[in-house]
Structure 1
Amino acid sequence: MELKRLTQMAMLSALGVLGSLFIWIPLGVAKAFPVQHAINVISAVLFGPVGAGVVALVTALIRIFTGTGSLLAIPGSVLGAVLAGLLYRYTRRSGFAAIGEFVGTGVLASLVAVPYAAIFMGTQVGAFFFMPGFMASSATGAILGLVIWHFLERSKVALPVN
Structure 2
Amino acid sequence: MKKMNLLKLVTMSMFVGVGVVISPLLRIEGMCPMAHLINITAAVFLGPVEAFLVALMIGVLRMSLMGIPPLALTGAVFGALLSGVFYRVSKGNIMSAVLGEIIGTGIIGAIVSYPVMTFLWGREGLSWLFYVPSFICGTLIGGSIAALFLYQLQSAGVLIEIQSKLKGEDSVCVKKQKTESL
When normalised by structure 1's length, the TM-score is 0.91
Return the offset for 1:153. 3.1
State whether residues 21 and 68 of structure 1, in contact with CA within 8 Å, keep that contact through their aligned partners in structure 2: no
Matches within 5 A, 1:27-46: 27=30, 32-46=31-45
Please provide the CA RMSD for this pair: 1.5
CA distances 1:72-101 after superposition (whole Å, capped 9, x unpaired): 110100000000010011112111000100
Superposed counterparts of 1:91-110, under 5 Å: 91=90, 92-110=92-110
| Alpha-carbon distance between aligned partners in 2 of 1:56 and 1:17, rounded to the nearest angstrom | 10
Corresponding position of 2:149: 148
Query: How do 1:2-151 residues align onto structure 2 when only pairs under 5 Å count?
Result: 2-27=5-30, 32-67=31-66, 69-91=68-90, 92-124=92-124, 125-151=126-152
Residue 39 of structure 1 deviates from its aligned partner by 0.6
Shift of 1:46: 1.2
Larger radius of gyration: 2
3-state SS in 2 of match to 1:26 = coil
Question: Which stretch of structure 1 is more off in the superposition, 142-151 or 130-139?
Answer: 142-151
Runs (4+) of structure 1 moved beyond 6 Å?
A: none
Unaligned runs of 5+ in 1: none
Q: Which amino acid aligns with 1:90?
A: V
How far is the alpha carbon of 1:68 from its aligned partner? 5.7
Q: Distance in 2 between matches of 1:36 and 1:69?
A: 13
User: In 2, Cα distance between the equivalents of 1:20 and 1:109?
Assistant: 18
Q: Structure 2: which amino acid aligns with 1:17?
A: V
**Percent same amino acid among aligned pairs?**
30
Q: CA deviation at 1:42?
A: 0.5
CA distance in 2, matches of 1:25, 1:51: 26
Distance 2:67 2:153 in 1: 28
| TM-score, L = length of structure 2 | 0.81
